[in-house]
Amino acid sequence: MKFLTKKRVVLFLLFIFPLICFLILSTGKNNFTKLPVLKANLIDVSQIDATHKVQLKDFVTIVCFLGNDVTANKSGLFNLNEKIYKAFTDYKQFQILAIYPNGKEIEVAQLKEEISAFTDMQKWVFMASSKEEIEAFYDAFSYKEPLINLASSKVFLIDKDVNLRGRNTDADSKGGKLYGYNMNSVSVLNGKLKDDVKVLYYEYYAAFKDKNKNKADRKEVGL
């Protein structure tokens, strides 16, 4: 058939087919897989922040625990900055929260200076707290892997309603539940955390879209 030339087939595969897929997906309602809530109603860090300036509510937050040896996971923090922070720094209500024990301000200041050499630190948030408050906040996750010296190589994804998000069917996690993402693994950050943050933002986009549609429908019927 003359119509199905090689050039037209290539154009179809490159442009028309993806557009059709997008239209099919966009017309459906809640037809995507939502990111599971692993633990609801966490403690908001506003309750353990002495400055009362830091909060989780209304933010998509990546939480990491620096511990007493602030430099121990420095390479992981650089991975997090390159693979996650830079990918989402333009997203609304996004932040990375690094929690550290009181008394480590000098080490943290040096760490911030090193990271700032590679990026704009606007959405990096560093918060000091007591040992007891850090442990209480972490325990609220109900994650069986304990903090070591108040630190973890894992980072945690918290949604705008202060719920811990993750995966229920992760092939690499015991029992299938993925609570935290290993920031020392570029493949985990790229292949899991980045995807999960995107899914979470799409949830908010879909909810916003449905809300506006419902408003329009109510307006049409005079409600």
- pLDDT single digits (tens) 37-64: 999 999 999 888 888 889 999 999 999 9
CATH number at 37-206: 3.40.30.10
* Predicted confidence (pLDDT) per residue in 138-156, tens digit: 999 999 999 999 999 999 9
Q: How far apart are CA 9 and CA 3, in angstroms?
A: 9
pLDDT of 172: 92
Residue 36 in tokens:
């599971």
CB 184 within 8 A of CB 76: yes
Task: Please give the average per-residue pLDDT across 82-87, as a whole number.
Answer: 96
Average pLDDT, the chain: 86
Cα–Cα distance, 110 to 94 (Å, whole number): 23
What are the domain boundaries of the chain? Answer: 37-206
- The pLDDT value given to residue 10: 56
Q: φ and ψ at 198, to 5 degrees?
A: -65, -45
Identify the pLDDT of residue 209: 80
Question: What pLDDT is recorded for position 183?
Answer: 97
The reported pTM is 0.81
Confidence bin at 221 (pLDDT 50/70/90): very low
| Cα–Cα dist 46/207, whole Å | 26
The stretch 161-177 carries a mean pLDDT of 94
Residues of the chain above pLDDT 90, percent: 72
Q: Please say whether the beta carbons of 101 and 67 come within 8 A.
A: yes
Residues 6+ apart with CB under 8 A from 160: 57, 58, 59, 60, 93, 204
